[in-house]
Amino acid sequence: MKKAIQTLATSLAFIVLVAMAARITFAWEQAHQIPPGVLAVVPFQQETGNIAYSLAQGKGFSALFRMDTGPTAWLAPVYPLLVAGIFKIFGSFTARAFFAAVFLNILFSSAACIPIFFVGKRIGGLRLATLAAWLWALCPNAIMVPFAWIWDTSLSALLAATILWATLALAESDRVLQWCGYGALWGFALMTNPTLGALLPFLLAWLACHDRLAHRGLGERHLRRNRVALAAGIAILCCVPWTIRNYSAFHRFIPLRSNLPFELWLGNNDIFDEHARNGKKLITRTEETRRYAQLGETAYMREKWQLATSFMRSHRALELRLAGRKFTAFWTGLDSPLKTFRETDSNSVRGILLCSFLTAVGAVGGIVALRRRHSAMTFPLAVFPVVYPCLYYVTHADLRYRHPIDPVLCLLTAIAAASTWGRARTKEHTQAGDEPVGNGPL
């Protein structure tokens, strides 16, 4: 019986099924508390839903605020196209469309257990792989997000974990087909969530300068770097049609998305200046929609860029404080987590805050554990929590913005836990006078 339970607990298929069951159960319970009419409309009342509706109506990638404001490049195309397909099959703004989108998100989120499991197995064996996959399967944030956000968030988490898996798998491969597939994976990721692109140069640089290449000849090292260039070229080529479309629509170079100025302004404006005389004290969707429709996307973004950069130049001390608040918000979900934790009556909110904090600390511990072991995997894992969040420290942070790297954070937390357990056992055996048993599975 003990062996059967152990076999089941370490079964990847079983972990994925439990992950799906947890997410479906949460979605089911939440859906029964919300009227179907609300579920059919409210979750789609954002940029993704509006663009998807325009696509489903045959009007192209446009109508950002469900108004005839012309084409948009506010979002990358993959996820709005998926939602548009759901609208075509299940009807636009229907409860059936909402549940179909949620189920798709659940599939993406649950499937992220797979790459995390195999990366963990590569680093530290079956026990580490199992622990990492279970952490992601039962992570409160991962259970909540597929229902809470009809956005690319869950798909981005799957893509980030898959990219890490593929990067480590390619470390010793020179097969052209595999490198082409890696480039195509990156191209799809960029067309889904361009922010993941911040990781691309670092992971490609690691592949080009991987430690094991030091033992190879000059010709082999050149071959590897040619493969890296091939993957980068394919990733860029995947984005070229969309970039051409954007240039044709806006007559300016927009590689993937146009909304960076808006996001920058949203986190850097007079609302945050208590001494601003004429500063607006509230940003409303109605006012911004009106302004967007009045100016058009290009002029609107130009205005937001000027406002944001001007504010940042004139409020340097305040910008440092805002960066600290954004750092806290990114890693905990709120810029005042302790106050919220004490004052909230919701156990789920406390659970989410606690989970976010523990995985943030666990990620640091995991990187330290890998570093102590002089693991070649330290750099590619560390770039996820170190590099990816940087843009959000400048713009603005939210719980869902961290979610794409949450599977990797769960993996790093598992590494930290395994290392701590191994070190504790080693100390225990040493004190007992036994032979050292090692420092765990790493």
Tell me the pLDDT band of 284, cut-offs 50, 70 and 90.
confident
Tell me the pLDDT band of 433, cut-offs 50, 70 and 90.
low
Q: Residue 437: inside a domain, yes or no?
A: no
Q: Tell me how far apart the alpha carbons of residues 108 and 430 are, in angstroms, rounded to a whole number.
A: 45
Q: Tell me how far apart the alpha carbons of residues 77 and 433 are, in angstroms, rounded to a whole number.
A: 62
Q: Tell me how far apart the alpha carbons of residues 442 and 440 are, in angstroms, rounded to a whole number.
A: 6
Show the domain range for 177.
2-431
Q: Residue 15: inside a domain, yes or no?
A: yes
Tell me the pLDDT band of 219, cut-offs 50, 70 and 90.
low
Q: Nearest CA to 159 among 96, 108, 222? A: 108
Tell me the pLDDT band of 211, cut-offs 50, 70 and 90.
low
Tell me the pLDDT band of 441, cut-offs 50, 70 and 90.
very low
Q: Residue 440: inside a domain, yes or no?
A: no
pLDDT at 173: 84
- Cα distances (Å, whole numbers) of residue 33 to 26, 29, 37, 126: 11, 7, 12, 40
Among 21-25, 244-248, 374-378, 429-433, name the one with the lowest average pLDDT: 429-433
Q: Residue 439: inside a domain, yes or no?
A: no
- Does 439 have pLDDT greater than 50? no
pLDDT at 6: 83
The total number of structural domains that make up the chain: 1
Among 107-121, 165-179, 417-431, name the one with the lowest average pLDDT: 417-431
Q: Residue 125: inside a domain, yes or no?
A: yes
Q: Tell me how far apart the alpha carbons of residues 244 and 241 are, in angstroms, rounded to a whole number.
A: 5
- Does 431 have pLDDT greater than 90? no
Tell me the pLDDT band of 185, cut-offs 50, 70 and 90.
very high
pLDDT digits (tens, 9 = 90+) for 73-85: 999 999 999 999 9
Q: Residue 217: inside a domain, yes or no?
A: yes
Q: Residue 154: inside a domain, yes or no?
A: yes
pTM, 2 dp:
0.93
Q: Residue 65: inside a domain, yes or no?
A: yes
pLDDT digits (tens, 9 = 90+) for 400-416: 899 999 999 999 999 99
- Does 442 have pLDDT greater than 70? no
Among 149-153, 306-310, 342-346, name the one with the lowest average pLDDT: 342-346
pLDDT at 339: 87
